[in-house]
Structure 1
């Protein structure tokens, strides 16, 4: 800990606490059989919704030992949130705390606000991490908490620091909330771009100036899209597909010899050497994640040569993450797919990326979701995938659409990168403000304040005057 201002001192939490106690062990219930039983899981985002906190049975004499009061601090002593603390304030119902929490009650209740803010600082977390070093399951117990070293300013300055921190951190939280809301806006932006792209809006002006188009190749083995199939799709979408584009069944747009198949039915146990295989979980929105492909035995894969990838095929998840679509990159050549994935090898007049945009768009997703079947194992039948209605622009317009979508998406990606950087800066800002506060640099010192060491001596004298029995049978102060 760096050098502190003149009127400051350091103290252990045990010197400042009237009581450090473990909580009550009892089953919880939704029936109002006694007081609320506050658990670790009831503390979310530094808030407790008391209406959702369950109850427990406890006799009145025991309840008094565990009853929560304003300015009590509770700590998670194990689990994923170990070390996190919460300051009890506001309107508090009749409530006790559960056994996986530790309660700290300060000798001076007005110091609780200052301490609760210190327990958010990196200096505090360094100490907590040090306590858990070399332990398989990190935990915090009362004895460890008692040894925490706290930078202690005069009591009046503690109040000023807490007030200033509350003000500044509230501003930071507001900024963070606004930043956290941007990714959702960008997601909606991308979806809007895809909707405009596949509904003929994105290239409306472009079509006026470009009227010479190439013909669309079709799979001669596939049936044409019927009037009934088109009408059913448009009824589902509650709007017609673009009138300026031709309508097809998806199977009309793929290679006749390969069709739209799914892959390896039973991939078996993963092996160290074999054929990388794309499964439904590897297909994300508009991309294929190749970081963890399952390696399938060549003896199993050899019976599925039809679905070996060449690169450029559209892959559609038809089980699991149903509806996600992406284009197989050249690096996936000679890899295969599992039964959970449909391969869509498009004809030369169909851009794979355009088709992926269509499938991943809100329009494509609505059509796909309407075909999902099953309860425990949801999925889409290949027959429904093959007959999916597709409004397809000419090849030249597909190219233009892909170009424009990529531009918009690149812009969104740049904004996302800036958001991520801003989020990191905000997180650093919080810790920077806290560090300044506990170095004595956030608010000016007042020479007339009673020095912290005098306060500490008075607290020690006060504790000496209070009999141990009044501090609770399960107090760890005497440990």
Structure 2
């Protein structure tokens, strides 16, 4: 391996870097910089002349149809200069291009018979693979007569959906109308090279794609795709070199993948230990992890898992030490129960049906001494969702009362940049879903289900739609801890487990009232909420560090690739 190649491979740190390196190698190949030219090779100009003569002979024999003349390449259209002996070719002039065909209705031609013919669809291809070796379906002989049958070894390319991806068939079969097939005239173009160069021409195909929804490639436009054509002998040398370098890329990708997998498994093991209530070395494990988290965290996903583990530890009484002098949570809950009775007597809240006591079997895990399990309904004065006013978006106004929707509710706070507004009149008709400061909001439907925030003290008033629940605590001093509980993995898993409806996209208030929340002594809650921001800041710092390292590594790779591509007069990647 020469120094230039070695430098490129040393700059690679991720799977995405490998993909960029492969694209660079392919680009250099298409510019004639991958292998040395041999002045003794028969030039591509002679090769193209032979292709033209071969086409005329095939037309005379009736084996192919005479095609419309494709406009020659204008000088202004030439993408870049080529080495001596190379020529720009037009795809439609060097291959016969056909579109696949699908018999209609296709369901009438699908068969389970062993005599069926492979029915090759886009879904049978695997991105990154060179060959298509199997199909999920077969069609009948009658169906095959209405399609395009190809032998193994044929070259095809997708012309819709994931257009511009080329493959070699490893099987015989009929191709769906989402494919184009390419038959090389008289074998003057090495099929492996054409496959690589087609995959390296995606930018051209992207410019030629049409359609507003599912974009596809017009066959006439594809025919006028420009490809750099090397001498035949050099084509073979290029393919050998690309295969050699791509093999090294794949080996490196596997090493990177295995390293990340090993690191991820190790981190998962630590996270599992941290969340295991039977782990007697929990505090030691946590201390070890905090001291070494900078070395252990390799990706944003690792940091996300760390955040979840920290939240879990907080809810298990493992984040801060217990103090036997703390007033137990049972006293706090008794005070909340007394406040509830006062609110009922004052007719500020309605008397709710008393839910069943929490049995030992219901308790998800054992709590530290001084902690208690409580149903969410027993610590709230209000728990309910809003509604969309009659008329929907049509009644939103430029100003007025803030109308909070799920897109405004985030775990890190209430975001009001894109908040909607409703009139005072509509708000007065929706008093039951008025939002107050210190309320906790929880998204209960859709993709953002489980997202939650505390309404800040500076908030004046607002309302919510049916996708957001209001949780109003009797004791506002525990709002931060309850919010922490709601966004913890423990409660989020409960939310996923009890979603209702066929599409499993909604959380009912009945189920939410039943949620069991672990309550620590009030003083311990304060200690938890004091330590938590520090740990979360460490996570944020780690995430920024990982992002910075990734950006630096990407900058280094781009710099090396740019430096290599600028050396126009050298064969950058010669063996």
| Same fold, TM-score > 0.5, yes or no | yes
Rounded Cα–Cα distance in structure 2 between residues aligned with 1:112 and 1:406: 60
Match in the other structure for 1:116: 195
Q: Which runs of 5+ in 1 are unaligned?
A: 446-479
8 A contact 1:261–1:342 mirrored in 2: yes
Q: Secondary structure at the match of 1:105?
A: strand
8 A contact 2:440–2:479 mirrored in 1: yes
Rounded Cα–Cα distance in structure 2 between residues aligned with 1:319 and 1:133: 37
Q: Deviations over 1:240-259 (max 9, x none)?
A: 244431333324434x4xx2
Q: Secondary structure at the match of 1:260?
A: strand
Displacement after TM superposition at 1:98 (Å): 0.6
**Considering only aligned residues, what root-mean-square deviation do their CA atoms show, in Å?**
4.4
8 A contact 1:242–1:391 mirrored in 2: no
Match in the other structure for 1:326: 453
8 A contact 2:435–2:462 mirrored in 1: yes
Rounded Cα–Cα distance in structure 2 between residues aligned with 1:232 and 1:244: 19
Match in the other structure for 2:524: 397
Match in the other structure for 1:149: 226
Q: Which runs of 5+ in 2 are unaligned?
A: 1-78, 265-298, 342-351
Rounded Cα–Cα distance in structure 1 between residues aligned with 2:561 and 2:150: 34
Match in the other structure for 1:70: 153
| Counterparts of residues 154-303 of structure 1 (less than 5 Å) | 154-170=234-250, 173-174=253-254, 175=256, 182-203=299-320, 206-207=321-322, 216=332, 218=336, 220-221=339-340, 228-234=357-363, 237=364, 239-254=365-380, 256=381, 259-264=382-387, 266=389, 268-270=391-393, 271-273=396-398, 275-280=401-406, 283=409, 290=416, 293-296=419-422, 298-303=424-429
Rounded Cα–Cα distance in structure 1 between residues aligned with 2:203 and 2:248: 23
Matched residue pairs, number? 429
Greater RCO, 1 or 2 (C-alpha within 8 Å, sep 6+): 1
Match in the other structure for 2:112: 31
Rounded Cα–Cα distance in structure 1 between residues aligned with 2:359 and 2:537: 34
Rounded Cα–Cα distance in structure 1 between residues aligned with 2:497 and 2:212: 51
Rounded Cα–Cα distance in structure 2 between residues aligned with 1:35 and 1:436: 47
Displacement after TM superposition at 1:201 (Å): 1.2
**Paired residue for 1:88, among 168, 173, 196?**
168
Q: Deviations over 1:90-115 (max 9, x none)?
A: xx343221112111233449833334
8 A contact 1:282–1:293 mirrored in 2: yes
Q: Secondary structure at the match of 2:318?
A: coil
**Paired residue for 1:339, among 466, 476, 481?**
466
8 A contact 2:326–2:521 mirrored in 1: no
Q: Deviations over 1:81-132 (max 9, x none)?
A: 23x313225xx343221112111233449833334333444xx233223324
Displacement after TM superposition at 1:269 (Å): 1.5
**Paired residue for 1:361, among 485, 488, 495?**
488
Displacement after TM superposition at 1:162 (Å): 2.0
Displacement after TM superposition at 1:197 (Å): 1.4
8 A contact 1:114–1:162 mirrored in 2: no
Q: Secondary structure at the match of 1:221?
A: helix
333-342 or 404-413: bigger deviation: 404-413
Match in the other structure for 2:98: 21
Q: Per the alignment, do residues 212 and 331 of structure 1 end up closer, same or farther by CA in structure 2, a change over 3 Å counting? A: closer
Displacement after TM superposition at 1:344 (Å): 1.4
